[in-house]
Structure 1
Amino acid sequence: MRGGDRPARSPAPGQGVNPFDGTLPFGERPALILIDLMRAYFEPGADLYMGSRDCLDSAARVLSAARAAGLPVVHTRVAFGAGGLDGGLFYRKVPPLRRLAGPLGELMPEVAPADGEVVIVKQYASAFFGTTLASTLTALRVDTLLITGVSTSGCIRASAVDAVQHGFVPVVVRQAVGDRDPGPHEANLFDIQAKYGEVWDEEEVLRRL
């Protein structure tokens, strides 16, 4: 079922008509982005460890389908210069970012970039902030951005908000994003669907591709 064909969601009891029932259409030129699928999130004992590999496995399946369909693929990872000066206050606020130097900053082998796939190095939550992502997607005439990666309440939400602000339809793949706690994970998926983009199940995305 296409996002634009979905029935409107029912309002909660006593709330009347749901004002947040708009949808955005899946476009004709999608691209896939895999956000920060680094070892730090999947290595037991690491400060950012999420406790599950489910979103990584889902993202790998979506990546395989996107490659088979000939979609542009973009990867992001986080890295900082000496002392984290290019990370500014964000680097000071989040101490685990200091551990991303070395093996913990490597992308997982299940979603390793192929030859010709763009890898964007970023310092902040949004994949758009301070990077060439918007201009790259525009040059490729992309209109829809399939979003996978981590974490839902941080880099996924920030990137989805920036995507719609740059004129790209954000489609977050529900099973292919993850967080360290189900509360913020579900709350942010709820907000993205309500106000910023579309949240599709992996099965829907694979059928579409």
Structure 2
Amino acid sequence: MNAPHDATAPLRFGSSDLSLPEELREPLRAHVDHLRKRYLARGWGGRVGFGDRPALLVIDMARFWLDDSQQIGSNLNAVMDGVVASLAAARAAEIPVIFTSYPFDPAAPPSPHDKKLNFQLPEDGAAMFDLDPRLERRPTEPLIRKRYASSFKGTNLSEMLSGLCVDTLIVVGISTSHCVYATCRDATDSYRVIVPQEAVGERCELLHEANLLDIDIDLGDVMPLAEVVAHLNGLAK
């Protein structure tokens, strides 16, 4: 990661009840930076860089996760700002843009994972998974409805990216520790993974920090949003 967090600053997003105590924030982030250096000393955490044909994947920017009055929602306005900036640069560069959300279906059969999270949704819960209008999704930008954390599992995302000859996947959205991480994990063996750090987030500060480090060390490049936008702006010229 090229520009570490201000170690004393709280996240500008998430749930207040899941944030780090102030006295732990600086030691944790200092330790994260220490771990990154130790991994680099072992030859782990190199840069993958951009390829020639990037695409932008926008993960789960829907009300269920963005509305802090919802069961697992939180204030993610700062993340939305980063996603919108990523979208503007991607559209100007005319690279593929793909969205994901959840296919709410009360008739879907149960799975063991249902025991981990007891969904609390109204009968008309499908609207909770509509994309936020601030994204201004265009008719030419596909929307994948996925049942699992990874955007690849049980979807045609891989075939879609192959058909577009994509070699670099810019991943933005939520949540860092769940769908963003799982997608990066599944993408890393086939694509150069780029994560703009201000364009991903989640409800829990500790999980965000730990998983962002893991992505940066093992799966792709976590970069300042400004650097990703600058790269895309270069493609638009």
Task: Report the TM-score range of the alignment, normalised by the length of the smaller protein.
Answer: 0.7 to 0.9
Within the candidate set 184, 196, 217, 1:194 is matched to: 217
Aligned to 1:6: none
State whether residues 34 and 148 of structure 1, in contact with CA within 8 Å, keep that contact through their aligned partners in structure 2.
yes
Per-residue deviation, residues 85-112 of structure 1 (Å, max 9, x unmatched):
2x63334432237568233111101113
Shift of residue 15, structure 1, vs aligned partner: 8.4
Identical pairs, percent: 32
Shift of residue 126, structure 1, vs aligned partner: 0.2
Aligned counterparts of 2:87 and 2:161: Cα–Cα separation in 1: 17
Considering only aligned residues, what root-mean-square deviation do their CA atoms show, in Å? 2.5
- By percentage of residues, which structure has more strand? 1
State whether residues 91 and 97 of structure 1, in contact with CA within 8 Å, keep that contact through their aligned partners in structure 2.
no
Aligned counterparts of 1:16 and 1:151: Cα–Cα separation in 2: 26
Aligned to 2:62: 38
User: 1 or 2 for the larger relative contact order (CA 8 Å, sep ≥6)?
Assistant: 2
What is the TM-score normalised by the length of structure 1? 0.87
Per-residue deviation, residues 17-49 of structure 1 (Å, max 9, x unmatched):
333232212100000000000011221310121
Shift of residue 196, structure 1, vs aligned partner: 1.0
Aligned to 1:124: 148
Shift of residue 145, structure 1, vs aligned partner: 0.3
Count of paired positions: 201
Within the candidate set 97, 102, 124, 1:73 is matched to: 97
Aligned to 2:197: 174
Change (3 A) 1:97 1:36: farther
What is the TM-score normalised by the length of structure 2? 0.77
The residue correspondences of 1:33-182 to structure 2 (distance < 5 A) are 33-85=57-109, 88-96=111-119, 98=121, 101-165=125-189, 167-182=190-205
Change (3 A) 1:101 1:16: closer
Whichever residue aligns with residue 66 of structure 2, its letter is: F
Structure 2: which 5+ residue stretches go unaligned?
3-32, 233-237
Change (3 A) 1:28 1:89: same
State whether residues 58 and 202 of structure 1, in contact with CA within 8 Å, keep that contact through their aligned partners in structure 2.
yes
Instruction: Find the residue that maps to 2:128 and give its secondary structure.
Output: helix
Instruction: Find the residue that maps to 1:71 and give its secondary structure.
Output: coil
Aligned counterparts of 1:14 and 1:149: Cα–Cα separation in 2: 28
The residue correspondences of 1:14-33 to structure 2 (distance < 5 A) are 17-33=41-57
Aligned counterparts of 2:155 and 2:119: Cα–Cα separation in 1: 22
Whichever residue aligns with residue 124 of structure 1, its letter is: Y
Change (3 A) 1:21 1:96: same
Aligned counterparts of 2:114 and 2:102: Cα–Cα separation in 1: 11
Shift of residue 50, structure 1, vs aligned partner: 1.8
Change (3 A) 1:89 1:13: closer
Change (3 A) 1:97 1:107: farther
